[in-house]
Amino acid sequence: MKRPADTKTDAHWKIRFDRDGLSAMKFVIIGFDGPEGEAKRKIYRPAHLANMEPLDQAGRVVLAGPLTDKTGSLIVIEADSLEEAERFAREDPYTVHGVFERVEVHPFTQIFPKSTLPTQ
């Protein structure tokens, strides 16, 4: 992930500001595959990746990928609000088409690796 030039820090919090000057927070999205998740994943993967691409191009995907035990996916994104992150997860093709039978979205504070955090 590229470190933005417009980063503001203080002693306790490191907050990234997007181009509009609004703070962007990190969110963990955990998608749990349904019974047909593995088969559906193959069908809807191109649409899912196309949905992720604009966020990645904007530097707002921290990490993303499938869990290797084939139980789901982990996505960490930057968003301006919990509502925005929830909407992104809800509208993702994996959710819409039933790859994920359940999705959780949680606010997240990144501590490590330190090399990806803004410097003071």
What confidence score (pLDDT) does residue 114 get? Answer: 82
Cα angle 101, 110, 2; round to 5:
95
The amino acid that residue 84 corresponds to is: E
CB atoms within 10 A of CB 45: 14
**pTM to 2 decimal places:** 0.78
Are 103 and 56 a contacting pair, CB within 8 Å?
no
Specify the number of domains making up the chain.
1
Asked if residue 92 has pLDDT above 80, the reply is yes
Residue 6 lies in a domain: no
What confidence score (pLDDT) does residue 109 get? Answer: 94
What confidence score (pLDDT) does residue 57 get? Answer: 97
Q: How many angstroms from the chain centroid is the CA of residue 107?
A: 10
Mean pLDDT of 96-114: 95
What confidence score (pLDDT) does residue 24 get? Answer: 81
Looking at residue 24, which CATH number applies to its domain? 3.30.70.1060
Q: Which domain holds residue 40?
A: 12-108
In sequence order, the β-bridge partners of residue 30 are 74, 104
Residue 119 lies in a domain: no
